[in-house]
C-alpha cells in the first residue's frame, strides 16, 4: 500500500546542487535533458520554481519574460515565495519548470495544484524528479548517508507523478529516465557499468523528466454535439402545392 504524500515532517530542501551527492555532474545532466524542451517553448511568461531549478544554466527560449521563484532570496531568484503558494493570477504563466521540488515538500499535491492554477490552457509543465528505484538508492544502506541529499528526501516514482498529473487533466507528451549512476566520485567503474545497463534497463537511472501540457475541455463536447445533430435531422415542411397526390379515375 502506498504511503500518503502529505507529511508533517520533511527534510529541509538543499540550498544548492553542491549539497547533493555528485551534484555538479547531476546538474549538468539535468541542464542537457531540459535544454531541448525549453527551446520549443513559446509564450510570454516562463517561471522556474525551486532553489535547485533557479541555479540551472538554461538556454535562451522564445519566451521573453523568464524568472525564478524560491523560498529564499538569492542572486538567481527574482520572486521570493513558497511553491505551495504561488503568487500568480489564474492562467497567467505559459510554462513552468520544476526540478527536485516535490521530494522535499510537505504537500506535493498542493504544488501541482498551484502550477495547474497558474498555467494557461495548453501551458507546459516540465518536471525533473529523483527516481526512488535508481542505482544510487543502494547508498541508503550506509548509516552515514541517511541524512544526506538526496536520500534524506522522499522520492516518488514516475508512474505516481503521472497519475497525479492525469487527475489534473495534464496530457503527458514525454516521460523518460536519464543520468544513470551511483552518485559517487570515488570509483568510476560503477558509473560505467550503470551507463551500459541503462540501455536495457532505463528505469534504474537517477532521474526522470516529464513534459506535460495542461488541457481544458469545454462543458459541451463537440463530438456529442455533432452526434446529436445527426440523430435529430433538421426537417423542413414541404408546401402543399408541391406535394404529389394520386388522383382517382
pTM of structure: 0.83
Q: Which three cell numbers stand for residue 222?
A: 463537440
pLDDT at residue number 60:
81
Going by pLDDT thresholds of 50, 70 and 90, the confidence category of residue 5 is confident
Distance CA 162, CA 177 (A): 13
What does the pLDDT look like over 207-239, one tens digit per residue?
Answer: 999 999 999 877 666 666 656 666 555 656 556
Who wins on pLDDT, 243 or 87? 87
Q: Is the pLDDT of residue 244 over 60?
A: no
Q: Is the pLDDT of residue 131 over 90?
A: yes
Q: Is the pLDDT of residue 166 over 90?
A: yes
Distance CA 41, CA 5 (A): 30
Who wins on pLDDT, 150 or 230? 150
Question: Strand pairing partners for 170?
Answer: 214
User: Which of these ranges, 9-13, 88-92, 128-132, 207-211, has the smallest mean pLDDT?
Assistant: 9-13
Q: What would the CATH number be for the domain defined by 17-231?
A: 3.40.50.150
Q: Is the pLDDT of residue 139 over 90?
A: no
User: Which of these ranges, 77-86, 142-151, 168-177, 237-246, has the smallest mean pLDDT?
Assistant: 237-246
Q: Is the pLDDT of residue 174 over 80?
A: yes
Q: Is the pLDDT of residue 245 over 60?
A: no
Asked if residues 128 and 207 have their Cβ atoms less than 8 Å apart, the reply is yes
pLDDT at residue number 34:
95
Who wins on pLDDT, 229 or 103? 103
The C-alpha angle 63, 68, 74, rounded to 5 degrees, equals 145
Distance CA 30, CA 208 (A): 9
Distance CA 30, CA 37 (A): 11
Question: Angle, nearest 10°, between helix axes 108-118 and 158-167?
Answer: 50
Question: 3-class DSSP state for residue 102?
Answer: helix
Residue with cell 545497463: 197
pLDDT at residue number 240:
55
Q: Which residues contact 59 (CB under 8 A, 6 or more apart)?
A: 35, 38, 39
pLDDT at residue number 1:
63
CA–chain centroid gap for 116, Å, is: 10
Distance CA 91, CA 20 (A): 34
pLDDT at residue number 199:
82
The half-sphere exposure of 91 on its side-chain side, counting CA atoms within 13 A, is: 6
Q: Is the pLDDT of residue 249 over 50?
A: no
Q: Is the pLDDT of residue 247 over 60?
A: no
User: Which of these ranges, 176-180, 182-186, 206-210, has the smallest mean pLDDT?
Assistant: 182-186
What does the pLDDT look like over 24-47, one tens digit per residue?
Answer: 999 999 999 999 999 999 999 999
Domain edges within the chain: 17-231
Amino acid at each position: 500500500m502506498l504511503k500518503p504524500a502529505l507529511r508533517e515532517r520533511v527534510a529541509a530542501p538543499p540550498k544548492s546542487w553542491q549539497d547533493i551527492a555528485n551534484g555538479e555532474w547531476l546538474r549538468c545532466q539535468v541542464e542537457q535533458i531540459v535544454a531541448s524542451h525549453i527551446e520549443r517553448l513559446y509564450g510570454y511568461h516562463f517561471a522556474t520554481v525551486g532553489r535547485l531549478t533557479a541555479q540551472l544554466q538554461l538556454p535562451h527560449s522564445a519566451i521573453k519574460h523568464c524568472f525564478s521563484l524560491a523560498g529564499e532570496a538569492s542572486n538567481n531568484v527574482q520572486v521570493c515565495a513558497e511553491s505551495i503558494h504561488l503568487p500568480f493570477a489564474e492562467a497567467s504563466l505559459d510554462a513552468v519548470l520544476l526540478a527536485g521540488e516535490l521530494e522535499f515538500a510537505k504537500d506535493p499535491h498542493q504544488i501541482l495544484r498551484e502550477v495547474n492554477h497558474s498555467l494557461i490552457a495548453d501551458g507546459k509543465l516540465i518536471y525533473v524528479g529523483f527516481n526512488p528505484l535508481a542505482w544510487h538508492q543502494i547508498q541508503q544502506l550506509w548509516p552515514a548517508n541517511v541524512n544526506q541529499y538526496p536520500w534524506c528526501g522522499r522520492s516518488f516514482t514516475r508512474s505516481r507523478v503521472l497519475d497525479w498529473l492525469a487527475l489534473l487533466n495534464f496530457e503527458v507528451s514525454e516521460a523518460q529516465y536519464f543520468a544513470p549512476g551511483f552518485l559517487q566520485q570515488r570509483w568510476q567503474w560503477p558509473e560505467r557499468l550503470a551507463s551500459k545497463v541503462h540501455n536495457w534497463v532505463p528505469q534504474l537511472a537517477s532521474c526522470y523528466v516529464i513534459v506535460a501540457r495542461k488541457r481544458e475541455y469545454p462543458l459541451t463536447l463537440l463530438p456529442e454535439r455533432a452526434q446529436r445533430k445527426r440523430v435529430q435531422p433538421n426537417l423542413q415542411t414541404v408546401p402543399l402545392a408541391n406535394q404529389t397526390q394520386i388522383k382517382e379515375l
